[in-house]
Amino acid sequence: MNNIKLTIEYNGSLYSGWQSQKNEKTIQGEIEKAIFKFSGHKTIIQGAGRTDAGVHALGQCANFLIDNKYSEYQIVNGLNFHLGNEKIRIVNAEIVDGKFDSRFSAKIKTYQYQIINRTSPSVLMSDFSLHIRPELNLNKMEEAMKKLIGRYDFSAFRARDCQAKNPTRTLENIEIKKNNQIIYLNFSAKSFLYQQIRIMVGTLIEVGLQKIKPEDILEIINSKNRNLAGPTAPARGLTLVKIDY
């Protein structure tokens, strides 16, 4: 039995998230169909992270077990052939140790949120970014970001229907970069709560619009009150960039 690690890229706009759902088109579901068409083997793939509906990926990882012996080249090309016109592509396949688990072996996940900060929205990037018309104060946003780094109870920054038993997470790093009129927010952690990044982005945008002060961030964290944080930013601006093992 071979353990296969996949690196996957996808446009999440057309899918109901990563995880298989009955009567819904999902990333996991389409890849499992492609594996069956390619190998005749019915299997369940384990994803490193369950990205929400509309969230994209450049470096999602998943693994699955298969009896048949195929080369890594055959797996990549075979699965991509059977994925057809789906907006999902296998970037790499690797035969790994049997103990490898794409979810539990992950050390750091890095997501990027993209904001177009100018008067006019982008025609080419509208599916992959959030348009904000007023100029954002990046210095204030950066000041606020530093207060989010560390180990906290992030109850104020998770969706109300989040099912995680423990709301404590360690945010390893946040970076903000601007290239012309595009702002990139990068978030790195071992794991995140449901919609945590999108709520943090919504809150940082409020800081950039000077509706929330940077010094209020710790008060919001300590309150554990979702109502005090900013709105949930749309899924389309979020991309899972890479996973470190």
- Active site residue ranges: 52
User: Which of 244, 30, 235 has its CA nearest to residue 127?
Assistant: 235
22 Cβ partners below 8 Å, 6+ apart?
none
- The two beta strands, 238-244 and 108-117, are antiparallel
Greatest CA separation for the chain: 58
> Can you read off the two tokens belonging to residue 206?
């409020």
147 and 222 Cβ atoms separated by less than 8 Å? no
C-alpha 157/C-alpha 200 separation (Å) is: 6
Residues sharing a CB contact under 8 Å with residue 99, sequence separation 6 or more, in sequence order: 105
User: What's at 9, amino acid-wise?
Assistant: E
